[in-house]
Amino acid sequence: LFKHCFIFNELDSTNNEAMKSTYPHYSLIIAEKQYAGKGRSGRKWVSDEGNLYFSIVLPPMPVEQLLPLNISTGYAICDALRNYADVSLKWPNDIVFNNKKLGGILIETKFSGNILEKIVLGIGINVNQLDFSHDIKEIATSLAIITERQYRTEEILWQILNNFEKNYTDLLKKRIDIIEKWCKYSMNFGKMIKIHLDGEKMELIEKGITDKGELIAVDHFGNERKI
């Protein structure tokens, strides 16, 4: 799948780079560090050396496939990292260990009018970092902290890409067979989750995900909600 691979010492953000029109579909943009790494919801993604930061340029797909793409990418990463540590998923696509974040996915899209032109799928995994700054120490972790060893980031990258390729081609064929497996890896499966829904903070029990990638949870009355 990945015929073009571009490796940089440093970038502002691999997602920004991948958005440039010069990169053909299925290009892989990798940076050793980023000085303006982006997280979801406008947050920054601290991107020191020693970790994995990469983006994949994907051709357009129907917009309703973007959430399943998020879900199946999260699964691909978690399955690869499970070769090293007992990491879990947190819907929609956080990679966590003991409720501390180890990795995340940021999908960005480019539209021309209302036509989706390009998808950039960015992945960040904390691999070798041993120390995090004060503000994120309590919420961030890395593979090296969990397992007390260092890694070659390429080794982890290739495993993630292998898994990704399989799940992505399945997704394009509308074969989504990772739902059960996703639930097994989900840190909150069968547990209580607190969620803001319709302006209200609710306590629900996580029951699974739909094939559209929505989270299924039930309230105290047994009513099912899709989020």
C-beta of 32 vs 170, nearer to ligand BTN: 32
C-beta of 81 vs 105, nearer to ligand BTN: 105
Distance of closest approach, residue 69 Cβ to ligand BTN, in angstroms: 14
Q: Which two tokens stand for residue 66?
A: 């973007």
The only residue of 68, 74, 92, 104 in contact with ligand BTN, by rule CB under 6 A: 104
Cβ 109 vs Cβ 116: under 8 Å: yes
Distance of closest approach, residue 31 Cβ to ligand BTN, in angstroms: 7
Distance of closest approach, residue 222 Cβ to ligand BTN, in angstroms: 32
β-strands 88-90, 52-58: how paired?
unpaired
Among 120, 102, 101, which residue's Cα sits nearest to residue 110?
Answer: 120
The burial of 77, by beta-carbon neighbours within 10 Å (0-12 exposed, 13-18 middle, 19 or more buried), is given as buried
Under rule CB under 6 A, residue 124 binds ligand BTN: yes
Distance of closest approach, residue 39 Cβ to ligand BTN, in angstroms: 3
The burial of 195, by beta-carbon neighbours within 10 Å (0-12 exposed, 13-18 middle, 19 or more buried), is given as middle
Under rule CB under 6 A, residue 45 binds ligand BTN: yes
Under rule CB under 6 A, residue 37 binds ligand BTN: yes
C-beta of 15 vs 153, nearer to ligand BTN: 15
Strands (E), the chain: 4-11, 27-34, 52-58, 88-90, 94-97, 100-112, 115-125, 192-197, 200-209, 215-218, 224-226
C-beta of 55 vs 128, nearer to ligand BTN: 55
Under rule CB under 6 A, residue 92 binds ligand BTN: no
